[in-house]
A = this chain, B = another copy of it.
């Protein structure tokens, strides 16, 4: 496996002399590092499904044990009203800055199982990739940061700066309890800024730094008609069909131009400046390549915006699941009793998640026709959009590290997805967050056949070593 350690990129700057022992220690542990990830991702820590409750206890235990082995101090499970967070620290550099490393040990549900080529919780090496649920989001990127801390502490007995780590277990269900935890532990979490191992690079071909992310607001709704499923021949035409009503509510969320119709949805949303649009247009994006990657027949979205503008800088209302009636083999002529919809909105700066949910709820109520009953269930899965200032020291250091490591200037990109905790760190602790992940956006996260590039495990280790050193010394 050590053969999968990539050689230096053309044009890369040599590793600073002070880091050679650390990088050497990582290189010697290359096989062990991968084996650890296989073991960690073999724990099915699915936070959304109660059947995995025992695994949601094993995963933080495993991680705490790994932090202890790395030499971190004060390692503890911090209980929450949901799944616990894992904390650790090393504070032996009083003159140096303090960073708070963030990641999450929980993963998305593995369904639909039948589309996986390898078992989701038996991480499997195929070529230069490791396949398994959570290897890219976020166990690989998280674990490599711990491995770097271990390499510093084993090579030098110290870190170049003060580090606190906080790994949560509810990111995939909206980090519902971490806000309370962070508020309660604010003193212990004091730091200069956060480095997140969650995030991801935009493309496998170019180094990139993600400097903005969309927010999220989630809501489920159900439409109820008759008290039970009825015969659609006997009753069809005389009672409203909850699936018809749910479909009309979903169809009514967008107009013909692809704009969200919810009144007030775009309140506070700033239009992109012509400079922003020009910078986005210069990025190496091609719709044709994007369609190759996703297999979609065509791009589609809000009229007047490019694909990257739609992905990073425009808000959405997106149905993640819809179901009702008979969904099995063959036919069953029912007029169903109920229909269910799972919906998430992606938000941009200027939108407040709770405000958006209020408007969405009011819109759905106003659009519900007679003959059915609507129930709306807003979820705790909310977070504001995020953007890191251009002059933030973490941003400047990270750009230099990526340029040194990859031999080319990294792209500064947006992110369509949401890490609600970024909003929490800013609003509760007053800390900005640097996203410094070595996952890549094409790694099938939240989908079957999620994978992580094994070379990125090792590149990510070297990058984190360079970053921690640079933050202390540059």
A residues near B, CB below 8 A? 47-50, 108-109, 111-112, 115, 173-174, 214, 216, 218, 220, 224-241, 243-244, 246-248, 250-254, 290, 294-302, 307-308, 310-311, 314-316, 318-337, 339-340, 342, 344, 346, 369-373, 379, 381, 415-418, 441, 444-449
A301 touches B49 (CB 8 A): no
| With known contacts A297-B370, A371-B296, A49–B329 Cβ distance under 8 A | yes
A297 near B372 with CB under 8 A, answer yes
Q: A237-B346, A251-B244, A310-B237 are in contact. Are A298 and B230 (CB under 8 A)?
A: no
23 A-B contacts (beta carbon < 8 Å): A47-B330, A49-B329, A49-B330, A228-B295, A231-B445, A232-B320, A232-B344, A234-B441, A237-B302, A237-B346, A239-B301, A247-B248, A250-B251, A251-B251, A295-B337, A298-B371, A299-B371, A319-B325, A320-B326, A320-B335, A322-B327, A323-B323, A332-B342
CA distance in complex: A381, B333 (Å): 11
B324–A321 CB distance below 8 A: yes
Q: Which residues of B are found within 8 Å of A226, using beta-carbon distances?
A: 294-296
Give A49 to B290 CA distance when docked, in angstroms. Answer: 40
Closest to A444 in B: B228
**A239 touches which of B111, B112, B294, B449 (Cβ 8 Å):** B294
Contact B173 A447 (CB under 8 A): no
Query: Which residue of the partner chain, among B112, B315, B332, contacts A446 with CB atoms under 8 Å?
Result: B332
Chain B residues near A441: list those with CB within 8 A: 234
Identify A331's interface contact among B323, B324, B381, B444, CB under 8 A. B381
Contact of A370 among B48, B290, B300 (CB under 8 A): B300
Residue in chain B with minimal CB distance to A314:
B237
A233/B417 contact (C-beta < 8 A), A227-B296, A247-B319, A332-B321 known: yes
Q: A50 to B329, Cβ gap below 8 A?
A: yes
A230 to chain B, nearest CB (A): 6
A370 to chain B, nearest CB (A): 5
Q: Which of A298, A302, A316, A331 has the most chain B CB atoms inside 10 A of its CB?
A: A331
A214: which B residues are within 8 A, CB to CB?
233
In order of increasing CB-CB distance, the 6 nearest A-B pairs are: A227-B295, A233-B417, A48-B330, A300-B371, A321-B325, A240-B300
In the assembled complex, how far is the CB of residue A42 from the closest CB belonging to chain B, in whole angstroms?
A: 21
- Contact check, B318 vs A236: say whether CB atoms are below 8 A apart: yes
* Contact in complex: B323, A416 (CB < 8 Å): no
Instruction: Verify A417–B326 contact, CB threshold 8 A.
Output: no
User: Are the C-beta atoms of A294 and B231 separated by less than 8 Å?
Assistant: no
Chain B residues with Cβ below 8 Å from A254 are 244
- Residue ID in chain B nearest A371 by CB atoms: B300
Interfacial chain B residues near A325, Cβ < 8 Å:
319-322, 342
Point out the residues of chain B lying under 8 angstroms from A372, CB to CB: 297, 300
Contact B297 A320 (CB under 8 A): no
Taking the closest CB of chain B, its distance from the CB of A391, in whole angstroms, is: 27
Contact indicator A294/B346 (Cβ below 8 Å):
no
Task: Determine the residue in chain B with the shortest Cβ distance to A231.
Answer: B446
How far in angstroms is the closest Cβ of chain B from A452? 15
Chain B residues in 8 Å Cβ range of A320: 232, 325-326, 331-336
Q: Are B299 and A238 in contact (CB under 8 A)?
A: yes
Docked complex Cα distance between A299 and B325 (Å): 19
A416 proximity list for chain B (CB < 8 A): 231, 233-238
Find chain B residues with CB under 8 A from A373 CB: 297
Given B300, B331, B335, B446, which contacts A229 in the complex, CB threshold below 8 Å?
B446
